[in-house]
Structure 1
């Protein structure tokens, strides 16, 4: 999928900006958890999580550790890109590596190069084995391909088929979500080994960092001074241009003279009564849930009836104590024309489409700037509001396009 030099430049700059944002988010959580500043931040991020998961996230052994791979989900819009999610345990690493390798061999100038994803993994994870849970088993084939290409002695492991004691002194890349811990075999022994310092797990066991809530907290007026101090002016400006304005679905009544900034309403009941034109909004669960990935918890306001939208708002408010929801401004994807293969015709046709872009950034440690390994494009039919890996979509590596 061809990208203009301007979009490529924007995405390349997003890597360091999002890394800085993630680092600042990590620091804010620990300041909040200690009661030093904004105690409500950690309280919201910890909602619905078992105490064991909270304790894991606060373990001093990995206090400053950050994920070594970072993949924002970007919607290609008329004026740039819009960030819908920040994923630190992303699928598609092997798939994008294979696509880059395959298309580069055909002569395409893929972004990151034919071996960009392999170089990224090798740099960020020099000798890590990959640990895949049953819940994530669909991604095992691409990880096995990746390990075979790296050919450096690492392995793909499954928790039901290993002796945790044999992992002492080693490092593993975890490909499982922390909400799934109760369903993972040998997890108690693995976690105890990690907390004893005998096993390194990446990304760090920080469920709080894996919440969509951070994209909403970026826009919270109470935190404006914190972000301004923690981020450079360039990074702050870039994030303001690419993170959609958002709100935490907090059922707590506002003071009588207050309104939700940007929505200009005093009460969520007013949001329920918004007409279709004003419902250019997206409602989704923040995280730590089996419905927190993909599109399973997503409600798009202008795509629902008034009754359905009201019910979605009510559900979000009722879930606040255990599973916080976030509300974000909806940014419509740019419509593009792209060739699509039609098996029944034995040839290609032009498809009107909207595009999700997934750049993969790799960073060996918390202090290093991330490197862009490649960009995966998901080209979806233009009538789809939610852009994801659906059966009607085309997945392609991104290539640079000469200015025209």
Structure 2
């Protein structure tokens, strides 16, 4: 098996010390993860709906700020944000901008549904999927997005943002996001080799500022940056060198920055607003009935852990205990483990809000732990709002992987998460690749780990 996998793959996505499979921090599969044609078709059509959601949420926020939509929308989305962040995201320069790279976390459920548990605020993994996919294609496999889908998709996005046929791209990686540097370096090199863009991956202090532009050193010399991919978090801005200069350049239209510096679009509580009946007319007006209905089915029921008391006649919509409406969060204390089909997680703007950090699966907890998680979420409301989300168990899948110690290919009984990558150009969100992460079936949270199989996806009649 190892003889058929290019050694440079591991160096490119896992760093210079990963020269062979023994150093790789995930399990390798001998083939891409198989997806049924119907699953691929559903993923291809999903990008347009997610782009509409981002645009609708963006408009709803500004309507709320202006007073033409309920005040609670922008109030929820601004809790815990410094005034500087609020002023930044309200600037006219960024008013219509939404992320140009969309990456949901998709769970294929036991009931056959497709559930999006997350929308990644600052997606990584493009270089990982691109490098792995390139190697599998060289071995004779196809993949969703084709041989160079991630590279072409990223370049097309940058061309659309900049209006240039050959844009210069700076992928700026903060110290907090340092783990992404090897794969982003691969991606920048692949973009350079493709002839579709000039690209570099670099630290913030390697970006130079002039009165007219941001400039970087590329393999072909010093160039003006057209597109800056922000691989750093807004909550971490104080620790990012030259952050103010990069934001200044973006504000003054000297560079296109994506994701745009709009923290409210990085909040998971948008899912709660989507399910909020008081906003149904606004969502319908922005999305249309069919898209709204699809998104309600795609995103799990979500509630904001808001400690403020309700009026006597009010209930927490959609939440029940023993088939009775819930008026206080404390009514959830007494749920049995089997009744606790929920997760609790930070909404956003926190180092605990990405990956599996800060995520609690309710039926994994003791009663005292469950009570403490609810109370903790209520306590942090004004600083870091937390959400309660309906938990959906992923379906079981069987996937082959290389057992390095035994030098043999074995089969894992696991559960899968799909991460499709959509690059936006104009009004189109194009599917350019899909990452599958398969963890052992006894794991409750699906994320990258040493026991996980991570691979790009291919279309197969025998797929999931």
Deviations 1:227-258 (A, max 9, x none): 11211333222212211111111111122232
Distance across 2 between alignment mates of 1:131 and 1:380: 30
Deviations 1:48-93 (A, max 9, x none): 1111111111110121011110000111212132111112421100
Which among 102, 105, 126 is matched to residue 93 of structure 1? 126
Which among 105, 108, 115 is matched to residue 148 of structure 2? 115
Deviations 1:178-235 (A, max 9, x none): 0000001112222223223323212211011011111111101111111112113332
Does 2:310 align with 1:251? Answer: no
How many residues are paired up?
402
Contact 2:34 2:462 in 1 (8 A): no
What SS does the aligned partner of 1:136 have?
helix
Larger mean Cα displacement after TM superposition, 20-29 or 71-80: 71-80
Does 2:446 align with 1:387? Answer: yes
Does 2:209 align with 1:164? Answer: yes
Contact 1:245 1:329 in 2 (8 A): yes
Contact 1:5 1:403 in 2 (8 A): no
Distance across 1 between alignment mates of 2:279 and 2:179: 39
Instruction: Report the counterpart of residue 188 of structure 2 in structure 1.
Output: 147
Larger mean Cα displacement after TM superposition, 185-194 or 82-91: 185-194
Distance across 1 between alignment mates of 2:117 and 2:409: 30
Instruction: Report the counterpart of residue 403 of structure 2 in structure 1.
Output: 342
Contact 1:83 1:242 in 2 (8 A): yes
Deviations 1:327-377 (A, max 9, x none): 111000101111122122211222110001000000124xx1100000000
Does 2:254 align with 1:198? Answer: yes
Instruction: Report the counterpart of residue 297 of structure 1 in structure 2.
Output: 358
Contact 2:438 2:454 in 1 (8 A): yes
Distance across 2 between alignment mates of 1:120 and 1:234: 27
Provide TM-score, normalisation by structure 2: 0.84
What SS does the aligned partner of 2:119 have?
strand
What SS does the aligned partner of 1:12 have?
helix
Alignment of 1:2-401 (within 5 A): 2-78=34-110, 79-126=112-159, 127=167, 128-151=169-192, 152-165=197-210, 167=214, 170=225, 171-263=227-319, 264-365=325-426, 368-401=427-460
Aligned-pair CA distance for 1:296? 1.2
Deviations 1:152-192 (A, max 9, x none): 32212211233222506633111111000000111222222
Aligned-pair CA distance for 1:403? 6.1
Contact 2:171 2:200 in 1 (8 A): yes
Provide TM-score, normalisation by structure 1: 0.96
What SS does the aligned partner of 1:370 have?
strand
Larger mean Cα displacement after TM superposition, 257-266 or 176-185: 257-266
Distance across 2 between alignment mates of 1:265 and 1:225: 24
Distance across 2 between alignment mates of 1:153 and 1:190: 19
Larger mean Cα displacement after TM superposition, 256-265 or 319-328: 256-265
What SS does the aligned partner of 1:262 have?
strand
Larger mean Cα displacement after TM superposition, 199-208 or 325-334: 199-208
Distance across 2 between alignment mates of 1:211 and 1:338: 33
Structure 1: unaligned runs, 5 residues or longer = none
